[in-house]
Structure 1
Amino acid sequence: MNIDYSILKKYPFCNRCFGRLYGKLIRTDNFDRGRALKLSKAIELEQLLRIALENLNNDNLEFESDLKLTPDEIDEIKRLMYSIHRSGLFEIKLDLIDNIEKYEAEYKLLEETNGEKALEELEIKCPWCKDIFAPENLQKISENIAETLKNYEFESFLIGTKLPKRFKELEKEIETPFMESIRQEFGRELGKIVTPILKRRVDKENPDIVIMVNPYNQKVTLQVNPIFIKGRYKKLVRGIPQSHWHCRTCKGRGCEKCNFTGKQYQTSVEEIIAEPFMEIMKGSSEALHGAGREDIDVRMLGNGRPFVIEIKEPKVRTVNLKKMSEKVNSSKMVEITDLEYGNKKDVHFFKNEPHKKTYLAKVECDEKVSKEEVLNLVQKLENLVIDQRTPDRVAHRRADLVRVRKVYKAWPHILDDYNFELKIFCDGGLYIKELISSDEGRTSPSVSELLDKKCICKFLDVLDVHDYEDVENI
């Protein structure tokens, strides 16, 4: 493999940074690797230069060699030796190199071209690392990290390095197949100092907090990963939505119509559940993820609907889940059970996996309906495939298409000559109100169509969301 030393003619990389260009080769630290590569090349170059100069001057040859180099080739050897010396390998003596002023002038011109300030030799900073690995810089950044984290509870962390744009561009320009990014090395070196200070474990897969550091200006920012808590909720009253709704008039800004709350409804399932968690965990915001949603005028009963509450950027990560349940349940509007800590995969499962549902609907007919008619209806509904076009009432926020869903079973309960209850076990995503009314023919077949009577759903409750396999005993 050929080591590209010519890069040192343009950039006086320190030993550590030159070693990082080949950081994936040989298990040693970058400083030792870079110094060894430079030293090896320097020995080779000095040998060539001594032989070439003796041959050129026809002196008493101390070295027997047929080596013949042109003045231009000798000049290139001197230039590279000067470049390696200038990059920090001061073991190279410059007594063999004449016309140093020429090389210094070339470097100063190159520095100005690269936007770097020309510095005296002993003050030169590597244009890649800029001394960010200096102990005093690492110590100061460590102190900044500890100060930034002092109000956060966490068990694991990961350090991320944020590079300014020009250093990203430099890395792209000088990249070799074996290069290690300065991000990786800086994070590793800083971690050696920070870990004993924080007394927390490093987690590369799922850390509580990612500490983002700009090593060039010592700025520290945090990426605080959210907490996910899953459980089941019941909505015991009608008239509240699942999630917060902005006032339709003011779009959340506050107006007379919403009593300057910015809300269309006074509260929601989301707000009732989230409030105690936000109070204790001090998150920046939250989100409720449910396995589907019920309408505002529909109760969620039975075992409850599976949900995940996501607390974003929490300062406190552990809470007493039993006490959280008690606070929510004291609302008498929403009840939560089976709380446990979850993860982001639970959000995907609850929101995207289809779950069969069991509903209880009160059906009102515009004319008398007999027991026989209802029993016949139930027979027709069993394993019935329904073609349902997006209901007119939600067409403004749902794609207008035809969904195919199935009713598996139904159980009747006669109330009087005009009213009966239907317990319906069906696919998730089936709009039950429209299954009953037909929605002007957009749902077919429907209860209205099968009875040949105009029917509406007076009340609706969700009795179960079947996020489990055994649904035989409904």
Structure 2
Amino acid sequence: MTTYQKITPIANQILKKYDLCDHCLGRLFSKQLYLSSNKLLGKKLKKNLKSARRCYICKNLFDNLDYFLNMMLDAVYPYSYSSFSVGATIKPSIIDRDDAIRSKYKLKGIDGIKTDITKELGKLFSRKTKKTFDYLDPEIVFTVNLKEESCDIRSKSVALSGRYVKPVRGFSQKQKSCSNCSGKGCRICDFHGIIEYDSVEGEISQFLFKKLGGTTAKFTWIGGEDKSSLILGTGRPFFVKIQNPHKRSLRVKSANLEHVTVNNLKIVPDSPKKPLKFNSLVEAKISTSSKIDSNLLRKLKTLTKKPIVVYEKSGKRSEKKILSVKYKKQGDTSFTLFFKFEGGLPVKRFVTGDDVSPGVSQILGVLCKCIGFDFHDVEVK
């Protein structure tokens, strides 16, 4: 006896008691027969029987899937994507009726109705748009609420890397979060997490929102700087992840914004999971509490001989290397220090010697203060 012959009597028993549509009837047996079309199997099992006027399980929901397909097409219109997946919310009573029949007739190892609805919507959408259904890593995820007749959409975040040059002083690196949502995104900040755009983070975010759409922007900074510091040379590297973008490609590689210039912009697979190691080349302007001479400044060369120990208030201890040192005397009580060091060294504390050993003050035996510092280069190792 074939598998089909075995399941026919069970199908007939079910149909005597319940009116089922072709989709719901076929789904109960299609996996046993290794068939992909529930509808065609359902038709075959019914043979000469009339189609159900109203399906006991789904209440003819499958007849209305085109309505939800059009809802998906309308929702996805602003987005660029190549792959998608579908999730669904349906009435609990539909699931209960489906479970009851599967339990009563001991039908195991078959898809539930919710799975079947999402598969069918996926087939219809793929056929219409020529896009790929990707369950594991889709660029677009639909959540179709068949209960409330709505469709939500989320797109996979896009990560970018780039460098920024900041040729003006008095411009912060980081942007204050929206006070209402603490940066999570709300109606007040148009779901961006920030309201103002008066920082490096703000200007780059605003530019990317215009180019890619999206809600929030999450930055990974390769080091930081004072509000008064300049970022020169090739600029400071950064990574940014745009949540829920509309576009997935960026044609421009550079942009001159109001206060910063962005270069080397490109899409990358992801932002770094761990902090990247980097070196910074800094020019620091330093004042001293007493007169200094060139012979005294020569002592600064010893800074490259051993690691600089940095102590944090949390109790954490780290070591940073000074890779090169140059200096230029500017006056009796001032000089400029050009030095290259491992990222993470707090420049102002290094000069004063505040929980940093040895510091510039300690090496020179003179109380020193950093008036300001600029970055000439930041290189990722």
**Which residue is equivalent to 2:287?**
364
Partner deviation per Cα, 1:412-441 (whole Å, 9 max, x = no partner): 2222332222233333222111011122xx
Matches of 1:265 and 1:197, distance apart in 2: 41
**Which residue is equivalent to 1:230?**
161
SS in structure 2 opposite 1:375? helix
> Please, which of 317, 320, 326 is the counterpart of residue 406 of structure 1?
320
Q: Is the 8 Å Cα contact of residues 84 and 131 (structure 2) preserved in structure 1?
A: no
> Please, which of 217, 240, 246 is the counterpart of residue 286 of structure 1?
217
> Please, which of 336, 352, 364 is the counterpart of residue 421 of structure 1?
336
**Which residue is equivalent to 2:356?**
443
Structure 1 unaligned regions, length at least 5:
40-87, 92-120, 253-262, 391-399, 469-474
**Which residue is equivalent to 1:348?**
272
Asked whether 1:142 is paired with 2:56, we answer no
- Give % identity: 25
What's the CA shift for 1:308? Answer: 2.8
What's the CA shift for 1:184? Answer: 3.6
Amino acid at match of 1:402: K
TM-score using structure 2 length: 0.76
Asked whether 1:29 is paired with 2:36, we answer yes
What's the CA shift for 1:319? Answer: 4.4
The 1:144–1:192 alpha-carbon spacing in structure 2 relative to 1, beyond 3 Å, is same
The 1:192–1:271 alpha-carbon spacing in structure 2 relative to 1, beyond 3 Å, is same
What's the CA shift for 1:286? Answer: 3.2
Amino acid at match of 1:409: L
**Which residue is equivalent to 2:365?**
452
Matches of 2:346 and 2:379, distance apart in 1: 16
**Which residue is equivalent to 1:51?**
none
**What is the 5 A alignment of 1:266-305?**
267-305=198-236
Structure 2 unaligned regions, length at least 5:
1-5, 184-193
Matches of 2:275 and 2:26, distance apart in 1: 49
Q: Is the 8 Å Cα contact of residues 366 and 453 (structure 1) preserved in structure 2?
A: yes
Aligned length: 355
Matches of 1:22 and 1:417, distance apart in 2: 93
SS in structure 2 opposite 1:424? strand
> Please, which of 122, 125, 128 is the counterpart of residue 55 of structure 2?
125
Amino acid at match of 2:168: V
What's the CA shift for 1:217? Answer: 4.5
Q: Is the 8 Å Cα contact of residues 21 and 178 (structure 1) preserved in structure 2?
A: no
Matches of 1:264 and 1:215, distance apart in 2: 35
Q: Is the 8 Å Cα contact of residues 22 and 178 (structure 1) preserved in structure 2?
A: no
**What is the 5 A alignment of 1:62-461?**
123-127=53-57, 129-134=58-63, 137-150=64-77, 152-164=78-90, 166=92, 170=96, 178-245=109-176, 267-322=198-253, 325-328=254-257, 331=258, 333-343=259-269, 345=270, 347-349=271-273, 352-390=275-313, 400-415=314-329, 416-439=331-354, 442-461=355-374
The 1:13–1:464 alpha-carbon spacing in structure 2 relative to 1, beyond 3 Å, is farther
Amino acid at match of 2:301: V
Going by fraction, where is strand more abundant, 1 or 2?
2
Amino acid at match of 2:338: K
What's the CA shift for 1:220? Answer: 1.4
What's the CA shift for 1:265? Answer: 8.7
Amino acid at match of 2:315: L
Q: Is the 8 Å Cα contact of residues 381 and 408 (structure 1) preserved in structure 2?
A: yes
SS in structure 1 opposite 2:231? strand
What's the CA shift for 1:292? Answer: 2.7
What's the CA shift for 1:356? Answer: 3.1
Matches of 1:463 and 1:21, distance apart in 2: 69
Partner deviation per Cα, 1:114-161 (whole Å, 9 max, x = no partner): xxxxxxx9555333x443322xx12111111222233x1313241322
What's the CA shift for 1:269? Answer: 0.7
TM-score using structure 1 length: 0.63
Larger gyration radius, structure 1 or structure 2 = 1
Going by fraction, where is helix more abundant, 1 or 2?
1
